[in-house]
Structure 1
Amino acid sequence: MGSSKKGMLNVLIAAVLWGSSGVCAQFIMQESQMSSPFLTMTRLLFAGLILLMLGFVHGDRIFRVLQNRRDALSLLFFSLFGALTVQFTFLMTIEKSNAATATVLQFLSPTIIVAWFALARKARPTPLVLGAICTSLAGTFLLVTHGNPTTLSISPAALFWGIASAFAAAFYTTYPSTLIARYGTLPIVGWSMLFGGAMLLPFLRRPGHRFCG
């Protein structure tokens, strides 16, 4: 299988797994009354630890990125505005609506990425890409309004968090490319998730704050 086909297969698998994770998250929050911030923290901490262990077993030098001050700061920036934000906004959208709506809204991120690169590089998208963007926007419009532009079929809070999730996903996808090229996928994604989850700990451990509900 060529690299292009492998890439498309990985994208397909990632989309299925991400959508499935949204369904699981919705079930957990509904059945256990767990708050989205606590679930975000739990997901990030455990996923980060697992990915770092996999990287270590795989032979990656997982601590190398922490030895470079500039790259370590870049990793922390990505942890906050990438790993943490993309998870938190996604789960908040689920909390305010449902997993299907959250997934559709977040998957506006490719449109944001294309628009950003078109502006930054002054490269006009191909007709096929433009068609995909228009279809994506039309589908989102129908989801949000049910065809009536004067009303919303979801709450304003769900729309806000969903759009924020799309921007966060676009940043999460594009920002760490240099770090990943230098240190590998598992160390960068693993540390970013672990740091992102750790960043929520001080807020969720305040006196009187309930982890659930």
Structure 2
Amino acid sequence: MATQVSSRIKGLMMVITGAALWGLSGTAAQVLFQEKQITAEWLVVVRMMLAGSALLLFAACKRMAIFSIWTDAKSIVNLLLFGFFGMLGVQYTYFASIATGNAATATLLQYLAPVYIVLYAMVVQKHRPSKEAVFAIVLALLGTFLLITNGSTGELKVPLISVGWGILSGVALAFYTLSSAQMLKQWHSTIVVGWGMVIGGGVMCFVVPPFPLPLVRWDAQTWLLILFVVVFGTLFAFLLFVESIRYLSPTESSLLSSVEPLSAVIASIAFLHVPFGLFQAIGAVCIMVTVLLLSQKKERHPSHSTST
């Protein structure tokens, strides 16, 4: 019994730490964009190529057959779509939302992804929505309105371009989740995500080569922030999340990963002094409650759940 409790505590600490690192990496990226003149495109390339290669190396060290996924024709097509539209789509739109706005809002808007998955099920798969799903969608819309207006329609508190990128980030995350679900039944998540990052980063290399940007002052703080985003905010965060599932259920891990937007909000306010009004805070709570409601719905109907 004591062993089960200690294992559960270990899993909880892993998933909370991983989610917090994800959230903090968004704040670090905001500093790079707005104070160090790093571009979102460049950081996407570096983050995906380095973290993706490291994940594949980790999988190889664990004696996983990292190239076996390329022997299945259907998996190849799914992996290419996942890498380009899912992984690259999520990474670029998220960083673009941060660059034009702030990490707190970008992270919260990205967390609307479960709402888009519910809407997809309603429109495309003709699933009749439950009362809980309808309530969650209304709550998400209310939360988004409060988040970007702070309760006043006269002036947006977040630039419209940042809101647009944030919404696209949520849509891309929904695609990421749905497109990876089938592959994750056959292949380990480290292999799928690792190759997805390498594919997305490789495509982006044709747009922005991963060479040091000439207009950036490459001081120690710049390198430390990049290191944090790539190593702690991507590689370690993902590995902690995956390892936590050994001690917790996937649904519990997903619920606790809502720490990510919370940590992004706190870090943005504490370190970057991002103004966050009362109604924006209420909107943030509405969005996080939406995620919790939809995650609990998946737990009651595990056959319909998908994994990220």
| TM-score interval for Structure 1 and Structure 2 normalised by the shorter chain | 0.7 to 0.9
TM-score by length of 1: 0.86
Matched, 1:45 2:44: no
Spell out, residue by residue over 1:122-159, the C-alpha distance to the aligned partner (whole angstroms, 9 max, x if none): 132343x4444333322211111121235322222111
Quick one: structure 1 residues 212 and 21, their matched pair in 2 at CA, closer, same or farther if it must change by over 3 Å?
Answer: farther
Aligned counterpart, 2:96: 92
Aligned counterpart, 1:196: 200
Matched, 1:17 2:24: no
Distance 1:45 1:157 in 2: 27
Contact residue 110 and residue 169 of structure 2 kept, 8 A: yes
**Offset, 1:11:** 6.6
Quick one: structure 1 residues 204 and 166, their matched pair in 2 at CA, closer, same or farther if it must change by over 3 Å?
Answer: same
Partner amino acid for 1:54?
A: F
Aligned counterpart, 2:174: 170
Matched, 1:122 2:142: no
Aligned counterpart, 1:145: 149
Partner amino acid for 1:176?
A: S
Task: Return 5+ residue gaps in structure 1 as ranges.
Answer: none
**Offset, 1:176:** 0.8
Contact residue 64 and residue 183 of structure 1 kept, 8 A: no
**Offset, 1:100:** 0.4
Matched, 1:27 2:14: no
2:188 to 176, 184, 191: 184
Task: Return 5+ residue gaps in structure 2 as ranges.
Answer: 217-308
**Secondary structure, in 3 states, of the residue corresponding to 1:204?**
coil
**Secondary structure, in 3 states, of the residue corresponding to 2:153?**
coil
1:57 to 51, 57, 61: 61
Quick one: structure 1 residues 64 and 100, their matched pair in 2 at CA, closer, same or farther if it must change by over 3 Å?
Answer: same
Number of matched pairs: 207
Distance 1:137 1:56 in 2: 43
**Which segment is superposed worse, 179-188 or 129-138?**
129-138
Distance 1:126 1:197 in 2: 40
Distance 2:189 2:84 in 1: 17
Partner amino acid for 1:161?
A: W
RMSD: 2.7
**Which segment is superposed worse, 111-120 or 49-58?**
111-120
Distance 2:138 2:22 in 1: 23
**Which segment is superposed worse, 80-89 or 27-36?**
27-36
Distance 1:131 1:194 in 2: 38
